[in-house]
Amino acid sequence: MLVLRAAVTAAFIFAAVGTASASPGVEGTRNLGLSGGRASAFGTASALANPSNMGFQQQFAIEPLYQLHLPSRTHGVGVAIVDSLNNPRFAIGLGYLFLKGTPTIKFDTNTMGERELELSRFGHEAFAAINISLIRNWLGVGLKPKYQYASLRYRDDEGMARNAMRRLNAFGLDTSVTLNILGLVGISAIVNNVTGNHPPAFTADRTVRLDGVDELDNPTVDHDTLPALSEYPLTFEHALAVFPLRRADFSLNFDGVYDFTTYSTLDHVRLLYGGSAEYVLGPVPIRFGTLWDGRGPEEGDERFYISGGVGFVKPAKVGGAGIDAGFSFRQQVTGPMKETFLGFNLGIRLHPDL
C-alpha cells in the first residue's frame, strides 16, 4: 500500500510526458489524454506511439481519429488498424494520418504597416508498425517505417503559391523496445524519426521565407500562431508504466522526451518530463496527465499543461465486435500563447473466430 501511495504521489509530482511524438497532427486520443503513457499503450495507441507494445495485448482494431490544435487552426484526421490476434509472436499495424492548418504570421511592410499573412500547413503520413515478441509476454521490439510529407506555403502578392519553409518528402523510421516484468512494470525506450527528421519552420536566427510580398528589407516577423516545433523531430523517449493490479486497466505512467532537432541551431535539447494515470471503471477509461515542456534555452520558455479524457470501451467477444470511443484534451496553463488540443476517436474492435 505504501508503494502504491508513493507511485500515485510521484505521478502528480513528475508532470506528464511530452507529446506522444506520433504524427504532428494526430497523437491518438488516449495518448493525448495522458500526454504520454507509452509503456502502457496497447492496440492503436501503441501503433502510434510505441510499436514494441502491440504484442502484449491481443486484439484486432480499426480506429478513425480526429484531433484539433486551436491556436494554429490545425485539423488532424487519420485511421489506424492493428492486428495482434493471428500470431502470438508477431503483430502489425497500418495507418494513414493527415493534417491541414492555417496558422498566421505578422510582419512589417513598406506601404501597409504591419501585415498579417495566413499560411497553409499541410502534411500526411502512411506507416506500417511491426512488432516482434522476442520473449513472449516479456520482451518486444518494434519498427515503424513510414512515408511522411510536410509543407508550409502561402500566396504572394501575385497569387502564386510559395514555400515558407523547406518541404519534407522522405521515408522515416521509428524504433522501440519494451520489457514487461511479470505484468507489474513496463519499461520502454523509443527513438523516433531516426531517418526523416526535419527542422522547424523558423529558428531564433531564421524566419520563415517571405518572397513575393510587400515587406521591409529586414522585417520584424511575429510568427504568431505558427508552431515553433519541428514537424518530425529526432527524439529519444523513455517510459515506465506501473500496473498495481497486474492488469492493463489501471496504470501509472512516467515518461521523458529529448528533442534533438527543434533547437539544434542553439545547441539545446528540448526536454519534456511527466507522469499520468489511467483507470478503467467498468467500460469507461478515465485518464489524467500533466506535462512540463522545457522548450527553448531562454528563461520563461517553459510551459505546463494538464490533460485528461474519458472513453467507452466494449471488448470484442470471440466471433463478435466491440467499440472503443473516446474524447481527450490537453490545455496549456502556464507560458506564452495558451494552447488547446482536442481529440476524438470512434474505433471498432473485432475478434474473428479463427
Tell me what pLDDT residue 18 has. 39
Over the chain (354 residues), the average pLDDT of each successive run of 10 is 37 38 83 95 95 94 94 94 92 96 91 89 96 95 97 93 94 97 96 94 90 80 92 96 95 97 93 96 96 90 95 90 95 90 92 74
Tell me what pLDDT residue 16 has. 35
Closest by CA to 97, choosing from 65, 129, 132, 144, is 65
pTM of the model: 0.89
Any residues with CB less than 8 A from the CB of 138 and at least 6 apart, and which? 179, 180, 181
What one-letter code names the amino acid at 44?
A: T
Q: How far apart are CA 117 and CA 210, in angstroms?
A: 10
Tell me what pLDDT residue 229 has. 92
Tell me what pLDDT residue 6 has. 38
Report whether 30 contacts 282 (CB < 8 A).
Answer: no
Tell me what pLDDT residue 86 has. 85
Element (H, E) at 11: helix 2-14
Q: How far apart are CA 105 and CA 71, in angstroms?
A: 12
Tell me what pLDDT residue 3 has. 36
Q: How far apart are CA 186 and CA 166, in angstroms?
A: 39
Tell me the CATH number of domain 2-350, given options 3.40.50.1000, 3.40.630.30, 3.40.50.300, 2.40.160.40.
2.40.160.40
